[in-house]
Structure 1
């Protein structure tokens, strides 16, 4: 087994970017620019929080952990959760909180390069610092447990693993491979198209190294999210790569199969100059970027202001026995927030009547605010999510790829 970093070449396309990938990069940029364009930034921010929960839900689903969206939101609110469901809910909560930090850094223009060792270790550390005790250890075949220390790479033979048919680099070689990964992907940041294509190739190659004893899949998906934000196709946090990876283009087993396909060794002189197949890497990148484009287009349709407002008004009309309520919801959705004293002007009614309408909407979870006197913002009650956003989540049992079997050597 080659233990030099060149073992994972090609990491991207140095000579000529395949036309299909260049075209996909352009389409991704166009679609991401369209996403959420008509939404007020404050309303978009509330939707982005919903997408973070969705991303966490699907990322954990890929690992075989089926967490109910309601439990994730209860964990985020600090509410009591059934003890049997609590560990999975806290795991999902940790994912949401790390992504929230990434999104805030991106909004402030302070997001560092996501492919640096420092950033990748930060993702793992921030994630595992919040993990329940049950998920902090791995059990070896002899019954002993190995701790997954937050932010620390595999360091000893105790952490050597085999993932499916793939044998990642030995633990003592991980720092060398990660240093090479960081340097090579720094080169990919020089051009817009290569930054986008590197989201796909970097996702696979980080998992190829498998730098941590556990959590590599989640770290790679969070890194991919950060890379999308950095490359300018993050769509203000309104789309989820994890949803696409979990669902695939045609079936739910594609992610595992395509990751395995990208491990293929070089197939002769016409298959690049690296140790791994350049053709297989192209296939994986094309699949990954097509999945991403599909998710952005899904979100464009789902979060279109006109459709969203119409669906929201219809729900409020059905639920709230107050004909003024839909108008107030529309105003908040369009303007992002509304001072409580302005409700009477919007509704063209008395302050007392407007106050009652507003209180009813807050009480039912259609509007929210930071305090009883603070302006109100739009909210998206879980009980009406499926009607507002069909197929965004599902609490039903879902068939997903089996997580890779880790075999300790």
Structure 2
């Protein structure tokens, strides 16, 4: 059998190498923007939900982004709704990864834990042994590939984790992540949920490589997996032969998507772009939809301009007594238009990832071309 983890030789003038150079150029811009950190963190949480919908949709779940947003940050209103639970499981697993030190190595325990979190409470899209490698041989529906026999799974996963944890020079890190993603799916270590866990593995590897020293959360890939489900599956299958040509075809598909996602991330670090092209128009839509008054609209725009505010920062756009402003702020907090800032209980910022503003930002992201094609009909 060929070496599963040999990075194939690349032609210097190939499109793949050109894309890898683009990623290196974009990588230098990560963390250099002036979007307030709280605002950027909220946008990242919003993309967590988008990516979780994409990951589930690849597996046949047709829950919309807007349905998922209604339940973001909590249990589905209907505990029997498996499709919503599948989404909330993926969101929860991604946010769990964000709580970990990205420098820590990827382990069997972490992979099995991600699987348990992903399939928790599910039947149709669950697994009879959550958090455990399969003990039976399996076939992949619609694929000619036959995963390794069950007695080999733990050893194969050990080799994969050794490869994923190995220190690689910068110019090889994207190839390392692309190979690890495919080889995980090729091993198919669980009876069900492998696709969802493979995409979480990719996110974990991005956190510990190209984003490790940038001070910003990693991009949770959407362009790689969400622009065209058929192209994603076809690109993965091209690498099933383990040939250099097949591996390069998959890696080319993968790195193009990562390049597009990092370019999106860099644009979201531009404060003026976020204010003028994304959140500002979304606030204006709130006003047009009758969700806020003109006075509230001015207040929310002031918060957007400043990023984080105290009550006194609103005195000219919310005239009146201090107690009047306090009541206004409490009302906006109750309606999930504002939320407390990380700076303290008397500091406030826009609620971007939840509440009435979130679906309008999603619509504006679609207008700007930020959402994957898979979600275009939502």
TM-score range, shorter chain: 0.7 to 0.9
Deviations 1:128-157 (A, max 9, x none): 3x33344334xxxxxxxxx1x12211123x
SS in 1 for 2:178: helix
Aligned residue in 1 for 2:152: 173
Aligned residue in 1 for 2:255: 289
Name whichever of 254-263 and 354-363 sits farther off: 354-363
1:1-400 aligned at under 5 Å gives the runs: 7=1, 9-13=3-7, 16-19=9-12, 20=14, 21-35=16-30, 37-78=33-74, 81-82=77-78, 86-105=81-100, 109-114=101-106, 116-128=107-119, 130-137=120-127, 147=128, 149-156=129-136, 159-163=137-141, 164-187=143-166, 189-233=167-211, 236-237=216-217, 239-248=219-228, 252-264=229-241, 276-301=242-267, 304-310=270-276, 311-317=278-284, 319=287, 320-323=292-295, 325-326=297-298, 328-333=299-304, 335-344=306-315, 350-352=321-323, 354-355=325-326, 357-359=328-330, 361-369=332-340, 374-380=346-352, 381-390=357-366
TM-score, scaled to structure 2? 0.81
What number of residue pairs does the alignment pair up? 358
Q: Deviation of residue 398 (structure 1)?
A: 6.5
Deviations 1:63-112 (A, max 9, x none): 1111122332343443663567x21111111111111121232xxx4442
C-alpha distance in 1 between matches for 2:304 and 2:326: 18
C-alpha distance in 1 between matches for 2:226 and 2:116: 24
**8 A contact 1:35–1:238 mirrored in 2:** no
Deviations 1:249-307 (A, max 9, x none): xxx4211111111113xxxxxxxxxxx21121112111110111112223444564212
Q: Which runs of 5+ in 1 are unaligned?
A: 1-6, 138-146, 265-275, 400-409
Q: 1:346 to 1:25 in 2, by over 3 A?
A: farther
